[in-house]
Homo-oligomer: A and B are copies of this chain.
Amino acid sequence: MIWNRVDPAKVRRLFYPQVSVVVAVKSDGRIGAMPAIWCMPLSFNPPLIGIALAPEHETCKMIKKARGFTVNWLDYSHAREVGELGEISGRDFADKLAAVNLRTVKSKVNPQPLIREASAVLECQVREEHRTGTHELVIGEVLEAHASAHFRDYWDFSKYEPLPYAGTEQKRGKSWRFMSTRRATMRVAFKHSG
């Protein structure tokens, strides 16, 4: 293979496609949420997951305060809502999920909001935080996990269509690009220019 050097600022894009999740939190009566792709398991038992967030995001600040959060997998049919969540700020809304027409249901184990439209959800308690360069790595213990009937031992991908993020696109304005596992590409236009 012949290789070209990759600019360090673009290294993260080598990891694409990565399934998007929505991380959600309730703190001081407000609901925050944001799409995230830097999210992965870190342990079998206890079940730990890690999520790396930019600390300037309102959602990150709220998670650090609430000491809990949820992880929500929305399927491909919700690409637009997930993209839009990344385009608005939690500072402007008391319920950021409602602002993109997603509904919540309360977690049974902590006061954190689960997204009703999600195909799977994790209820997490913050165990550790590590500052890693520009980001904050939040390590959460999964207290409870639930999924639709399309997940049994594994996802049935003939029924559940995941939402892998594949980067942005500059074509008549900037868009989020999601890659279907069924070979279509969904674009969600950026609202603000950037």
Contacts and interface: CB of A to CB of B under 8 A. Distances in A.
B45 A134 contact: yes
A43 B134 contact: yes
Contacts of A41: 11-12, 15, 38, 52
Copies in the complex: 2
Nearest to A177: B154
A68 to B, nearest CB: 16
B12 A146 contact: no
30 contacts: A1-B118, A2-B148, A3-B120, A3-B147, A4-B147, A4-B149, A6-B145, A6-B146, A6-B151, A8-B46, A10-B153, A11-B47, A12-B41, A12-B47, A14-B122, A15-B19, A16-B162, A17-B181, A37-B40, A38-B42, A39-B40, A40-B50, A41-B52, A44-B135, A48-B132, A50-B52, A50-B132, A154-B166, A154-B167, A179-B181
Interface stretch (A57-65, A81-89, A136-144): A136-144
Interface in A162-194: 162, 164, 166-167, 179, 181-183
Given A132-B139, A181-B179, A146 B5 contact: yes
